[in-house]
Structure 1
């Protein structure tokens, strides 16, 4: 390459670079000019805050502090969204009775199981010898079996998990039937009574009743136990309550037994108000029964607080309601 050609190429290259720069400047200048002419945005306009206070009607609709309306402990949010496991992995509370009544408000599981245990010895004694059974033991058996039927009837409808719940309906019907059959002391009623005592012993040892009820109609509480048999249990409870509140030392020593019988009284008072029972549609009779139930529950609460004065006052109310009922109605 000659020197003259090299100088010409360099001269031409410089001209081409200057031409490219000029074109780029021409393209950029209009953009800069438009940017300088863009109008400025004004301040953002916001809605004005509501003025004045709320009127009384509106302000009364809301809480001043939302947290003041909350009650109880905070829910376990950590459990929300937890996958549902096997149905048998988490115990579920037993449903309430068919009519929605919650027997747990009147009687505890402990009282129900202890009542069944107490009945076993009395029934075994009443059915031990044929001569004793036919000589009057059948009447004691009738009373015991009737109370057992009532107890298992409550267990069958108990709104919490309780012992014997699986077999309770069968036991209820079996003991109810033998209770009615023991109105007389015969070889047949004694034979059936012995079978039911064996069923009771088996259940106490963890087994199930061997008999099968022959019910062919819907369950009715009036078929569980006759009212006279339940009145006999109430009289026994009345004696226990009176003895327990006679003086303070006795109250302290017998407080567990007093609480037990108070709950049994509450159960019987509730049961005799159920449909199909005699006088169940008599408002005066139901008033006496309700007063007896409520007084029994007051005795129970006094026992829980170990309040002798309250227990004695409640026992007085209980006796008053019983006496008034006996004065107007006879079993």
Structure 2
């Protein structure tokens, strides 16, 4: 009896399968499909290339050639050429990149921030030493610029000595120990003497600027990001630029000298031509901002800000 039941079940399954197959064949037979297209080679030859190589005229492009073309296309914006005027010229003298007013204002600003950081050993040890390191390196760089500035600017007499003192302490601010705090506090007193006009006495200073002994690139990059944010905020509208032009000029001029410092001898990657090109592009963009301010041309200001942003973003993509 059981065998008969199994046999009947198998017959039923087989019958269902045959019915389903027959239905599929009927549908497939009724389905209409487009005929395979026929191409005439003599006709399509005028439209399609035989290979990718035959579609390229001249030499096949490389990564280097594409970079050169991109740089060439960006040059008018970076240099500020075109209808709005000629390219800003950078001959290596600080006077052509930053005004005395911008330097003096930034020294005062960083000094006030430094005063708020170096207060008590506890907060200094808890992370204040990192802020102190940044402030000291920024001020050391500014005093280095002042020491080579050809025009009239405050603190010139003591600039080289201040540069060496602040840089030495900055490099020691890798921790918040009591010894480091005491030295940082001594620099606080030195800065106050400078601001009051008392000076630093007859302190001995090294000849010339050895940038590798003045600052590290990492803190300078952090400072650069601060300046970029300040510049973007101050230039976000034509009304804002007209209302506070110095709030645009100061960060722009500071970015100009940073771009120059970054590729000086002794700095990281200073011998890398691609890296140097990014630095020069940023400096040119910053000087384009200043030229726009001088000409009361908001579009040129915006173009310069765009060049700064592009050069920084592209550089970070390769070197960060």
TM value normalised by structure 2: 0.69
In structure 2, runs of 5+ residues without a counterpart are 1-90
Task: State how far apart, in whole Å, the 2-side matches of 1:210 and 1:180 are.
Answer: 23
Match of 2:147 among 150, 156, 166: 156
Deviations 1:47-98 (A, max 9, x none): xxxxxxxxxxxxxxxxxxxxxxxxxxxxxxxxxxxxxxxxxxxxxxxxxxxx
Q: Is the Cα contact below 8 Å between 2:193 and 2:200 reproduced in 1?
A: yes
Question: How far apart, in 2, do the equivalents of 1:260 and 1:269 lie?
Answer: 14
Q: Which has the higher helix share?
A: 2
Equivalent residue, structure 1, for 2:132? 141
Q: Output the TM-score relative to the length of structure 1.
A: 0.66
CA contact (8 A) 1:295 1:315 kept: yes
Q: Work out the CA distance in 1 between the residues paired with 2:205 and 2:233.
A: 42
* Alpha-carbon distance, 1:131 to partner: 1.6
Q: Secondary structure at the match of 2:198?
A: coil
Q: Which ranges in structure 1 are unaligned for 5 or more consecutive residues?
A: 1-99
1:263-303 alpha-carbon deviations (Å, 9 max, x no partner): 11111110111111110000000000000000001111112
Q: Does 1:306 align with 2:296?
A: yes
Match in the other structure for 1:287: 277
| Secondary structure at 2:266 match in 1 | coil
After TM superposition, the runs of 4+ consecutive aligned structure 1 residues lying more than 4 A away are 210-215
Q: Aligned residue for 1:221? A: 211
Match of 1:166 among 131, 150, 157: 157
Residue in structure 1 matched with residue 110 of structure 2 by the alignment: 119
Q: Distance in 2 between matches of 1:224 and 1:282?
A: 20
Q: How far apart, CA to CA, are the structure 2 residues paired with 1:128 and 1:252?
A: 38
Q: Partners of 1:161 and 1:256 in 2: how far apart?
A: 19
Preserved CA contact (<8 Å) 1:174 1:213? no
Would the aligned equivalents of 1:199 and 1:210 in 2 still touch at CA under 8 Å? no
Indicate if the aligned counterparts of 1:145 and 1:175 stay in contact, CA closer than 8 A: yes
| Helix, strand or coil at the partner of 1:183 | coil
**Deviates further, 300-309 or 234-243:** 300-309
Corresponding residue number in structure 2 for 1:208: 199
Q: CA deviation at 1:219?
A: 4.5
Cα distance in 2 for partners of 1:292, 1:304 equals 19
Could you say if the C-alpha distance between residues 182 and 214 of structure 1 is closer, same or farther in structure 2, counting changes exceeding 3 Å? farther
Q: Secondary structure at the match of 1:166?
A: coil
SS at match of 2:200: coil
Q: Distance in 2 between matches of 1:328 and 1:213?
A: 40
Q: Is the 8 A contact 2:137 2:219 kept in 1?
A: yes
Is the Cα–Cα contact under 8 Å of residues 126 and 133 in structure 1 kept in the other structure?
Answer: yes
Change (3 A) 1:257 1:143: same
In the alignment, is residue 268 of structure 1 matched against residue 255 of structure 2?
A: no
Matched-pair contact (CA < 8 Å) for 1:127–1:190: yes
Is contact 2:144–2:209 with CA below 8 Å preserved after alignment?
Answer: no
Provide closer, same or farther for how the CA distance between residues 164 and 264 of structure 1 changes in structure 2, counting only shifts above 3 A. same
**Considering only aligned residues, what root-mean-square deviation do their CA atoms show, in Å?**
1.8
- Report the alpha carbon displacement of residue 213 of structure 1 after superposing the two structures with TM: 6.1
Larger radius of gyration: 1
Shift of 1:305: 2.3
Deviations 1:136-195 (A, max 9, x none): 111111000001000000010111232211111100000111111112111111111111
**Which residue in the other structure is 1:26 paired with?**
none
